[in-house]
Amino acid sequence: MSERSMADLEAELRAAVKALHERLGDWTTVGEVVGRVVGELVQQAGGESAPGGEDLAEGAAPQSVPADLTEEQREHLRALLRKLYAKRGAWYLVAKDVGYPRRFIEAFIKGQVQGSMHFAAGVARAAGVELEDALAGRGS
């Protein structure tokens, strides 16, 4: 693919992502949606990249906006994620189970992003517990 056609594709993608942001209203949700879609497409295509588009923007840290989770709930979710990691053995496998990019999960573990109720639901589902139990620390 030529440099010009790659630049055209990137411009088209940027426009689509900006339009999605205008519709959804926040960048965290846009990142979650785009990460899930890329992960699904990679899996459907039989690609060998880890699920969730983890190879995207390798140099950039995931961004987050203020979330609807308390710090206590985030700590409970971090404990569940660590438990999933111990069980699965790799963050990209945890990411596949949760339905979020590996880089987002690692940033959440480090406290660099806040997460959301949607993210919490994915963690609870992957851990096999109810969302309420995950948020209250009864799943870890």
pTM higher than the cut 0.75: no
pLDDT digits 0-9 by tens, 2-14: 566 777 877 888 8
Is residue 55 over pLDDT 80? no
CB atoms within 10 A of CB 102: 23
Q: Where are the alpha helices (DSSP H) in 25-101?
A: 27-44, 71-88, 91-98
What does the domain layout of the chain look like in residue ranges? Answer: 3-55+65-136
**How many Å apart are CA 55 and CA 53, to the nearest integer?**
5
| C-alpha–C-alpha distance, residues 101 and 34, integer Å | 9
**In the structure, what pLDDT confidence band is assigned to residue 58 with cuts at 50, 70 and 90?**
very low
Tens digit of each residue's pLDDT (9 = 90 or more) over 90-124:
999 999 999 999 999 999 999 988 888 899 999 99
Instruction: Quickly state the pLDDT bin for 19 (edges 50, 70, 90).
Output: confident
| 77: nearest Cα among 129, 26, 37 | 129
Residue 61 has pLDDT above 50, yes or no: no
Return the pLDDT at 46: 60
Look at residue 62 and tell me whether its pLDDT is greater than 60: no
Fold category of 3-55+65-136 in CATH = 434 Repressor (Amino-terminal Domain) (1.10.260)
